[in-house]
Amino acid sequence: MPQLTGIRRILPTLQKYQGLVGLVLLLLVALFDTPHTDAKDALFHSVFFSVGNLRNVLDQLAVPGCLAIGATFVILVGGIDLSAGSALGLLNCVCATWLVHGASTPWTICYVLFIGTVIGAILGAIIGFTKLQPFVVTLAGMVSLRGIAFVYTNNANISGLKGQIAFFESPWLGIPVAGWTLLATTAIGSVVLAKTVFGRRVYAIGGNSEAARYAGVPVDRVRTGAFAVNGFCIALAAILFTARNTNGQPSAGLGYELDAITAAVVGGTALVGGYGNVIGTFVGALFIVCLNVLIILDGVSYYVGQGWKGVIILLAVYLQNFGRRV
């Protein structure tokens, strides 16, 4: 049938660039739906396309972008991480505490990155050792890590930072250093997945873990490595979060795992694993941040916005499944 043949030709391209298509549609909505202004730095006289708002978008993108890149590695091996938000909250408190007590900035950054990587590797190792579903293990991690964060801070916020990591918020060539950090992370993640043996093994495990095992791929070690990469990205996001908010909050990161998963799925990463890329995830994260900003500018309730994110996840997954059936 000619129509079915046409759909088969279009769907792979649509799925590959679904995040970009969604972002373009969202920007078109923002062009006509957001309040207008006569400011000279506003493109099309739209508040959304003003220079100040676009800088705000770039500033807000760093944390969810890093989380989404880490989530991409986990999802590609057929896993899921529900503990990302809780891990970010704990690492945010660790980072703030060390800085407040006079630790040097480089050592603090290295320590937080190390702890985040270890937490991710432990979760991956538990999954490999117990053969439990990643959903169950990371759900337990979500609860435990949040509890540890509150115990670590004695249920109090950590304040008193003196700008030790404020340079992440400083602009360089018009973009905050945090934004450049996200771009560098995206580039490195893309190269790792596309050009290294580890990256090829990640895709192989997500495509068919048993076939990968029979082919000699160390499935448990690669999965643990993917979760370790995720932990590193969460730690990096926690450092950027600390720089942005200048304090430590044991409640930080609530619901951030939803944004990370949504960004990865909208960017074309299949929840069943084995298909997706970091560049698409970056576009998906940009879509989510732009959606959040658009919701705020339109005065829409936060909870209504959360509902729309759920609809977006369903739509993205449906398109992926529909494409596989066709």
Q: What is the mean pLDDT of residues 260-264?
A: 89
Q: Tell me what pLDDT residue 14 has.
A: 63
Of the candidates 188, 175, 177, 195, which has an alpha carbon nearest to the alpha carbon of residue 278? Answer: 188
Q: Tell me what pLDDT residue 16 has.
A: 65
Q: Tell me what pLDDT residue 71 has.
A: 95
Least confident of 41-50, 242-251, 264-273: 41-50
Q: Tell me what pLDDT residue 255 has.
A: 84
Q: Tell me what pLDDT residue 27 has.
A: 79
Give domain limits for the chain: 42-325
Q: What is the DSSP letter of 299?
A: T
Q: Tell me what pLDDT residue 155 has.
A: 87
Region 42-325: CATH code: 1.10.3470
Provide φ and ψ at 92, rounded to 5°: -60, -45
Residue with tokens 């978008």: 57
DSSP 220-265: HHHHHHHHHHHHHHHHHHHHHHHHHHSSB-TTTTTTHHHHHHHHHH
Return the half-sphere exposure (C-beta side, CA atoms, 13 A cut-off) of residue 314.
6
Q: How far apart are CA 249 and CA 239, in angstroms?
A: 12
Q: How far apart are CA 124 and CA 143, in angstroms?
A: 16
Of the candidates 286, 279, 288, 281, which has an alpha carbon nearest to the alpha carbon of residue 267? Answer: 281
Q: What is the mean pLDDT of residues 70-74?
A: 95
Instruction: Give the pLDDT band (50/70/90) at residue 156.
Output: confident
Highest-confidence segment of 13-17, 123-127, 171-175: 123-127
Q: Tell me what pLDDT residue 147 has.
A: 94
CA-CA-CA-CA torsion sign (112, 117, 122, 127): positive
Q: Tell me what pLDDT residue 189 has.
A: 94
Q: What is the mean pLDDT of residues 61-68?
A: 93
Percent of the residues in the chain that have a pLDDT greater than 70, as a whole number: 88
Is residue 131 left, alpha or beta, with left meaning phi > 0 and alpha meaning psi from -120 to 50?
left
How does the average pLDDT of the chain come out, rounded? 85
Q: How far apart are CA 234 and CA 245, in angstroms?
A: 16
Check residues 322 and 227 and name the one with the higher pLDDT. Answer: 227
Residue 7 has pLDDT above 70, yes or no: no
Q: Tell me what pLDDT residue 23 has.
A: 80
Distances in whole angstroms, Cα of residue 303 to Cα of each of 65, 127, 296, 299? 21, 33, 11, 12
Check residues 238 and 26 and name the one with the higher pLDDT. Answer: 238
Of the candidates 172, 179, 168, which has an alpha carbon nearest to the alpha carbon of residue 60? Answer: 179
Q: How far apart are CA 55 and CA 42, in angstroms?
A: 12
Instruction: Give the pLDDT band (50/70/90) at residue 303.
Output: confident
Q: What is the pTM of this model?
A: 0.89
Contact, 185 vs 237, CB < 8 A?
no
Residue 55 has pLDDT above 90, yes or no: no
Q: Tell me what pLDDT residue 236 has.
A: 96
Q: Tell me what pLDDT residue 325 has.
A: 56
Distances in whole angstroms, Cα of residue 89 to Cα of each of 21, 54, 239, 271, 279? 33, 27, 10, 25, 26
Contact, 243 vs 62, CB < 8 A?
no
Residue 146 has pLDDT above 80, yes or no: yes
> Which residue pairs from 187-193 have beta carbons closer than 8 angstroms and sit at least 24 positions apart in sequence?
189/69, 189/72, 189/73, 189/229, 189/278, 190/277, 190/278, 190/279, 192/229, 193/73, 193/76, 193/277, 193/278
Q: Give 159-191 pLDDT, tens digit per residue.
A: 878 877 888 888 787 788 888 999 999 999 999
Instruction: Name residues whose C-beta falls within 8 Å of residue 291's C-beta, 6 or more positions apart in sequence.
Output: 26, 305, 308, 309, 312
Instruction: Name residues whose C-beta falls within 8 Å of residue 199's C-beta, 6 or more positions apart in sequence.
Output: 192, 193
Check residues 42 and 285 and name the one with the higher pLDDT. Answer: 285
